[in-house]
């Protein structure tokens, strides 16, 4: 067990290939499980010692090893020794700030992808989990940051004796894993659609508030992060389709194209929601501006009404000696009549002009 570094910059000065976990520790304890299967054989077991996988290494069946929790660097290092994986690849596995990518080697493939999960108990709170895959001839090793249930449906399909998974190789299992990760994004899109719809209704049906502005800005920042992790998946899957590796059969390309199609649909949806949020932000700004204009219009009307009255009061406050009307007996009532007639006349004029 080693200490974890929060950011990649903390590794400055260390030699390339230094095996140190980088990122938040989402699981302090490392759990390992193995599913070994063929058309007529299925074995699922939890293991406590990584050397237990040695008996599966040279078998003809497909072995799916899942590592949940990356804090124990010794386990990742030992897998590298057993499977002859380069230290730079192991370093990327332990760095959970990786960009989704696909790398091709002589005897294995390395895939990094982000799994996005929405917390249903929170207001569109998205958690990001890095999932790394090592694909070998008869072995798929999956490294996860934490325990969750996203692959339970896939495990149930493997348990079914007539499942297509049981008769195909590691390339099809890899497709099934990637498909499960990408399809989680549709759950995210459903939650995002509901959140954006609620925001639209609040914005159009009520007065704009600072709380609403903060919600829109937070959601927009979240979409930027989502896009940063989903967009590279298009390049990843395109690279897999162009690959000449013997580990990816020609018959599996059709399935990877399907995952690519799902990914493109998700990216297009994210882009459209980003545009919608930009529009909501503009509507908010316009609403605030319109509200301010209404206030200014009312103040301007009041100013226009009282300006003539202020002018008259100013004249009779000058204290000149020769002001004959000051001695008239009807001067005061007449002045009040002027004070009443002028505002009423201006109000009627503004009404005719539809300014009020």
pTM of this structure: 0.80
Question: Among the residues of the chain, which ranges form H helices?
Answer: 54-57, 73-83, 87-94, 152-159, 170-205, 210-242, 253-315, 331-352
Q: Confirm whether 324 is domain-assigned.
A: yes
Residue from 156, 175, 1, 141 nearest 71 by CA? 1
Domain count, the chain: 1
Q: Confirm whether 124 is domain-assigned.
A: no
Predicted pLDDT at 33? 93
Phi, psi of 195 (to 5 degrees): -65, -45
Q: How confident is the model at residue 162 (pLDDT cuts 50, 70, 90)?
A: confident
Q: Confirm whether 217 is domain-assigned.
A: no
Q: Is 317 exposed, middle or buried (0-12, 13-18, 19+ CB in 10 A)?
A: exposed
- Supply the mean pLDDT for the chain: 87
Q: Which range (101-110, 142-151, 159-168) has the least confidence?
A: 159-168
Q: Which residues pair with 142 in a beta bridge?
A: 66, 133
Q: Confirm whether 348 is domain-assigned.
A: yes
Predicted pLDDT at 122? 63
Q: Confirm whether 242 is domain-assigned.
A: no
Give the C-alpha separation, 20 to 11, whole Å. 8
Q: Confirm whether 320 is domain-assigned.
A: yes
Predicted pLDDT at 1? 47
Q: Is 289 exposed, middle or buried (0-12, 13-18, 19+ CB in 10 A)?
A: exposed
Q: How confident is the model at residue 177 (pLDDT cuts 50, 70, 90)?
A: very high
Q: Confirm whether 109 is domain-assigned.
A: no
**For 276-332, what is each residue's pLDDT tens digit?**
988 888 888 877 777 787 788 888 888 888 888 888 888 877 777 777 877 788 888
For residue 33, what are its two tokens?
Answer: 């499980």
Q: What is the largest CA-CA distance in the chain?
A: 120
Residue from 65, 1, 5, 66 nearest 28 by CA? 1
Domain that holds residue 338: 297-352
**For 66-86, what is each residue's pLDDT tens digit?**
999 988 899 999 999 999 898
DSSP letter at 164 equals G
Give the C-alpha separation, 153 to 188, whole Å. 18
Q: Confirm whether 54 is domain-assigned.
A: no
Predicted pLDDT at 181? 94
For residue 328, the domain's CATH number is 1.20.58.340
């Amino acid at each position: 067990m080693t200490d974890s570094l929060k950011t990649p910059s903390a590794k400055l000065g260390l030699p390339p290939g230094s095996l140190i976990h980088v990122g938040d520790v989402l699981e302090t304890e490392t759990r390992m499980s193995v599913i070994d299967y063929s058309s007529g054989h299925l074995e699922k077991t939890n293991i406590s010692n990584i050397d237990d996988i040695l008996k599966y290494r040279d078998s003809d069946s497909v072995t799916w090893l899942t590592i949940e929790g990356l804090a124990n660097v010794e386990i990742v290092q030992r897998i590298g020794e057993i499977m002859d994986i380069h230290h730079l690849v192991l370093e990327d596995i332990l760095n959970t700030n990786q960009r989704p990518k696909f790398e091709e080697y002589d005897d294995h493939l390395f895939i990094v992808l982000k799994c996005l999960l929405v917390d249903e108990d929170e207001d569109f709170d998205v958690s990001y989990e890095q999932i790394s895959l090592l694909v070998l001839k008869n072995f798929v090793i999956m490294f996860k940051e934490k325990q969750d249930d996203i692959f339970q449906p896939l495990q149930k399909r493997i348990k079914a004796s007539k499942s297509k998974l049981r008769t195909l190789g590691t390339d099809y299992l890899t497709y099934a894993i990637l498909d499960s990760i990408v399809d989680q994004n549709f759950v995210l899109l459903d939650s995002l659609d509901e959140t954006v719809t609620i925001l639209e209704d609040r914005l159009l049906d009520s007065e704009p508030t600072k709380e609403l502005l903060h919600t829109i800005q937070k959601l927009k920042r979240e979409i930027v992060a989502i896009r940063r992790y989903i967009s590279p998946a298009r390049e990843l899957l395109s690279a897999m389709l162009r690959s000449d590796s013997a580990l990816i059969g020609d018959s599996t390309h059709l399935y990877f194209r399907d995952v690519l199609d799902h990914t493109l649909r998700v990216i297009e949806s994210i882009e459209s929601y980003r545009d919608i949020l930009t529009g909501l932000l503009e509507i908010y700004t316009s609403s605030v501006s319109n509200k301010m204009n209404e206030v200014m219009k009312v103040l301007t009307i009041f100013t226009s009404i009282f300006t003539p009255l202020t002018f008259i009061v100013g004249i009779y406050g000058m204290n000149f000696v020769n002001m004959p009307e000051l001695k008239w007996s009807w001067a005061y009532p007449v002045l009040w009549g002027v004070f009443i007639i002028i505002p009423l006349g201006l109000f009627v004029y503004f009404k005719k002009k539809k300014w009020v």
